Amino acid sequence: MMDHLRWAPDEASQMLGTGYLRFYSEAGVHGLAKIVGLTELHVLAVSSVTPGTGQFRRFLALCKADCQAVYVWEVWNEELAKTLGRHGFVACDGEHKGEKLTGMVWNRTK
């Protein structure tokens, strides 16, 4: 699963015990994410190497092909929210270690 991603430890995530790792996608996108169970990708931070060239769109397509659900947490950028909405993501809430999370999710079953 997620063969298009390379993973590396993230020092801050390790110190905080979040379980997030740095990722680098063959689509030209990198950031922080973790796999929950075997079928969910949780993305905390994401950035394209060359914005405006379709890298993020390709990244989403690859993730959606591999996962049952893709979560993008703490979406503060309005343009990102619009882009995720165009790709079938909807608003969601969650919790991690007692902290409330807000974000957007794409779910294969919905």
Residue 68 belongs to what domain range?
Answer: 5-107
The predicted model scores a pTM of 0.91
Q: What tokens were used for 54?
A: 């379709």
CATH code: domain of residue 19:
3.40.630.30
What pLDDT, in 10s, does the model give residues 39-79?
Answer: 999 999 999 999 899 999 999 999 999 999 999 999 999 99
pLDDT above 70: percentage of residues in the chain:
98
Of the two residues 95 and 31, the one the predictor is more confident about is 31
Say which DSSP state 109 is in: T
pLDDT at 110: 53
What number of residues does the chain have?
110
For residue 109, pLDDT beyond 80: no
As for how many domains the chain has, the answer is 1
**SS3 string of 32-98?**
EEEEECCCEEEEEEEEECCCCCCHHHHHHHHHHHHCCEEEEECCCCHHHHHHHHHCCCEEEEEEECC
